[in-house]
A and B are shown apart, each in its own frame.
Chain A
Amino acid sequence: MIWVDTIVQGILLGGLYALFAAGLSLVFGIMRLVNLAHGDLIVLAAYLLLVIVTMLGLHPFVAALVATPIMFAVGYGLQRHVLNRVIGPDILPPLLVTFGLSVVIQNALQEGFSADSRRMPAGSLETASLPIGPVTVGVMPLLTLFTAIGVILALQWLFYRTSLGRAFRATSDDPVTASLMGIKPQRVFAQATGIAMIVVTIAALYLGTRSNFDPSIGPARLIYAFEAVIIGGLGSLWGTLAGGIIIGVAQTLGAAINPEWQILAGHLAFLLVLLVRPRGLFPRATD
């Protein structure tokens, strides 16, 4: 029975990794942009939530509603004024710029908030649990997984059921021809990054309420996000969810065998998938 519990806990943990990865997958899927600052942007959003919670005395879930438009604006402005200038056939400039951005965010947060670990109180939700069949699961992890599924469903709906989603896909296919349709590729890219930052805010909400965070943990979140995106297949949103769950299950299984193996087991699962399916489990046909 302990293995069933371990796998269920792993699936729930995968929901958090899928949330870390969904924004990264969205941005890569549309712009072929690898944002090395993605993990740090999640931490930045967590600190923004912390400030709102502290200053306004709001519950973190309510604070997320306040933070969402702010982070959308941050993403829109970042893409419009910084990243659009370096996107092109050469992938090196955006890598360098986002790496630099990562360093800047970490140092700015350290200056502003010190290197101390922080956490947002989520009240009784933190300890609440539900018996589901033979296992008992925490309400917060369950909420995280449902939120991840909800985010993926919402992004799928946006991509395949709306005019903006058509513009995203058309611009991803061919920005020049998209401009002949009246689409402004630079604006579409900015909107996509803005939406990715909404997802980042949701990820930050669960990061900050489920665990401690400090300015230096962004790169580790980026690695989990990367691995989830690559396991799932670049640009595939459902694949990203599957990738997050595979890493989560591998980590909890590794930890069940030996607590020191938790992180290592996730990375080994990633390497194993790369060996068997180098393009990921659900690669897009056009990649």
Chain B
Amino acid sequence: MALLQTNGLTAHYGDFQALFGVDITLEEGECIAIIGANGAGKSSLMRSLAGVLRQDPEMVVLDGQPIGSLHADDIVARGISMVPEGRRLFPSLSVEENLQIGAYRSNGSGSWDLDSVYAMFPMLKERRKTPGNALSGGQQQMVAIGRALMSNPRVLLCDELSLGLAPVIIRDIYAALPEIRKAGASVIVVEQDIGQALKVADRVYCMMEGRVTLQGKPGDLSREAIHKAYFGVGE
């Protein structure tokens, strides 16, 4: 049984339909990447998994339990945590408080706490009293990842980690992923950077116009097939 799966997932913003029957699965310990162009439905998928967009209960199943209709705050309590697109740090909170608020519903069990997050991103400890929004984009992303880890999630959702960051910073951010997986979290990464996605993921789903157009292991997918699934036309 998959740890997390969607069954014919649909999503709407008013009259606009963003997802059309999306089926994905995430196995325990796995890292999957969702790739696609702007407007492909990647973020809508993530928002649905995180409970920001609510669906029919059976459309999202975690460990055999239907969770599609739960609110975001209850989804966190079930073990799914999200690094949102654009980081979305709380400007009124310091770096340390941003991290602490990530553990709001945590019962204290699990390997992630302030010390382990600071060990992974040492520069955050030096700036722990700084307001979250006063950091550079890369440092903000580290806080956003640390904040999501503070709830000790079983599933970590990462929405556009590389957005607006310099390549060298992106490399540093993604360097943390193996440690996060080693600590027990399964990961879903949404990326526009195809190369980065293929590098870190065990499996890849490509989306276009709210549908999954391609899936498979990175080594099994040809450049031509990815290009067609990503843009809708061949090279």
Contacts and interface: CB of A to CB of B under 8 A. Distances in A.
Task: Say if A and B assemble together.
Answer: yes
Interface of A: 163, 166-167, 169-170, 172-174, 176-184, 286
B147 interface: yes
B218 interface: no
Contacts of B228: none
**Residue of B72, B76, B88, B93 contacting most chain A CB atoms (<10 Å):** B72
Nearest to A164: B104
Main SS of the interface on chain A? helix
Interface string B66-103: 00000111001100011010001011110001001110
Contacts of B92: 169-170, 172-173, 286
Given A166-B101, A170-B92, A180-B84, 4 more contacts: A176-B52, A179-B72, A181-B73, A184-B71
B38 to A, nearest CB: 21
B35 interface: no
B23 to A, nearest CB: 24
Interface of B: 50-52, 71-73, 76-77, 81-82, 84, 88, 90-93, 97, 100-102, 104-106, 147, 151
Contact of B102 (A169, A174, A181): A181
B73 A184 contact: yes
A176 B73 CA distance: 10
A180 B91 contact: no
A181 B93 CA distance: 14
21 contacts: A163-B100, A166-B93, A166-B97, A166-B104, A167-B104, A169-B90, A169-B92, A169-B93, A170-B90, A170-B101, A177-B90, A178-B90, A180-B84, A181-B102, A181-B147, A181-B151, A182-B77, A182-B104, A183-B104, A183-B105, A286-B92
Contacts of A172: 92
B90 A180 contact: no
Contacts of A178: 90, 101
Given A180-B50, A180-B52, A184-B71, A163 B91 contact: no
A180 B74 CA distance: 9
A177 B106 CA distance: 16
Nearest to A179: B72
A181 B91 contact: no
A190 to B, nearest CB: 14
Contact of B93 (A173, A176, A179, A184): A173
B22 to A, nearest CB: 20
